[in-house]
Amino acid sequence: MQYLNPEEVKEAQESLIRYCGEFSPFIAEKASGSYIYDKKGNAILDFTSGQMCSVFGHNHPKFIEILEKAGDSAIHLLSSILSPPVINLAKKLTSELPDSLTKCILLNTGSESNEVAIRMAKLVTGGFEIIGFSGSWHGMTAGAQSYTYSKTRKGYGPTMSGSLMIPAPYEYRCPIKHCNGSCDNTCLEVGMKMVDQQSVGAYAALIAEPLLSAAGIIELKPNYVKRLKELCDERGLLLIFDEAQTAMGRLGTTFAFERFDVVPDFLTLSKTLGGGLPLAAMVTTTEIEEECHKRGFVYMTSHVSDPFCASFGLAAFEILYEQELAKSASEKGLYLKGKLIQLQEKYECIGDVRGSGLLLGVEIVKDRETKIADDSLGQSICSRCLELGLNMNIVRMKEYGSVFRIAPPLTISKKEIDLGITMLDEAIHDCIK
């Protein structure tokens, strides 16, 4: 608890907008590997990889090397001027993807990458209706936010025209009260029929995370995605996979969609691609790119194709493959999930443990029979974890329970996983007694 300094944070709030509710009650002085440190050197084990971005651990040596040499090359250029890091990353990224995904653009954030995909989908189809999942999160910019159906919608006025929603396949809490623990795709069939009734006949795209994170770790299963693609094709909907959190090995494969027998029309990447630096990408087909180009496609921002950030994307692929981190995520994810299931067997308040690789969810309930979310207990556990030295993140939504999103760096050791589980165990014990 020595690193907790709410008074210092309160003082900082005098000049900062509270953009995320309340700030965490400590000041981070530095970070390295799986840990964050305060100015006294006290360590906090990070089970969130920063904002789910530092997938290779904080301050990876390869990234530090790039930072140290940054002055030897270009950092920023006019958007129309290309550089070797941009060209090389574009080649590397498209070479790692199926043959149909051949054209990419390099940007800064997940919101931007989704904006580009949506913009191109609208231009090439001539439609404007975009379907998203309940509980989804695709960004904070106007377009991406319009198809985000988490708790960030209320109070900001109208969203973009053509915003449509289908229920996410939340097996633990079936959205249509049909299934009990095993989705049979009925929610998908019903959801698509409902948006068909709402549609004005101007479909453009459907955007989906392979694993919905902000919705409380809801996985799309292979048979679900196969049917989803069939339904999209029937309607002329282009499919956008938003892999902000699931790419670069986190679910056990380089890209999460590799687990499906489906290739999207657009792939958006961010968070994990830069490993903690502001880098994003959108990849699509040659056919879509050519048609959009013919129709005058433009997406010019101040930092599109910046060489500095592109360098980190190249390093990210090197780290991923040299350290075999996708395989590591799969193995350590199974280990961590097993430990979480042991806690579930110990504590009645843990209603469900789910997820893949090193992106896992732990749902906190009042009791397992009613599955009533216990937001208060979840927040208390989260706060107690921080006091003990474990940084956790909790999703709290009435429709989606109270769920811990556990996403440690892929470089985390089993010893660090054990330490985190020990602190989580102690936090739950302290909060329920």
Task: Find the Cα–Cα–Cα–Cα dihedral 267, 272, 275, 280, rounded to 10°.
Answer: 30
Q: How would DSSP label each residue in 172-212?
A: GG-TTS--SSS--SHHHHHHHHHHHHH--S-EEEEEE-SEE
The answer to whether 245 is a known catalytic residue is yes
CA 355/CA 353 separation, integer angstroms: 7
Catalytic residue, chosen from 115, 137, 229, 363, is 137
> Nearest to residue 360, comparing CAs of 386, 389, 329, 382?
329
> Which helix (H) or strand (E) covers residue 395, if one does?
strand 393-396
The single-letter code of the amino acid at 346 is K
The answer to whether 242 is a known catalytic residue is yes
Catalytic residue, chosen from 46, 112, 115, 209, is 209
Token look-up 């940084």 returns: 391
Task: Find the Cα–Cα–Cα–Cα dihedral 49, 337, 212, 408, rounded to 10°.
Answer: 0
User: Phi and psi for 195 in degrees, rounded to 5?
Assistant: -70, -30
Residue 291 structure tokens: 């048609």
User: Phi and psi for 335 in degrees, rounded to 5?
Assistant: -65, -50
Catalytic residue, chosen from 112, 242, 289, 306, is 242
Catalytic residue, chosen from 173, 332, 384, 405, is 405
Beta partners for residue 31, in sequence order: 36
The single-letter code of the amino acid at 177 is K
CA 298/CA 395 separation, integer angstroms: 36
Residue 42 structure tokens: 């006290």
Q: How would DSSP label each residue in 220-255?
A: PPHHHHHHHHHHHHHHTPEEEEE-TTTTTTTTSSSS
Catalytic residue, chosen from 171, 245, 337, 374, is 245
The answer to whether 14 is a known catalytic residue is no
Catalytic residue, chosen from 271, 332, 354, 384, is 271
Angle between helices 325-346 and 414-432 (to 10 degrees): 30
The answer to whether 367 is a known catalytic residue is no
Helix (H, G, I), strand (E, B) or coil at 338: helix
User: Phi and psi for 279 in degrees, rounded to 5?
Assistant: -140, 135
> Which helix (H) or strand (E) covers residue 269, if one does?
strand 266-269
Give the residue numbers marked as catalytic.
137, 209, 242, 245, 271, 405
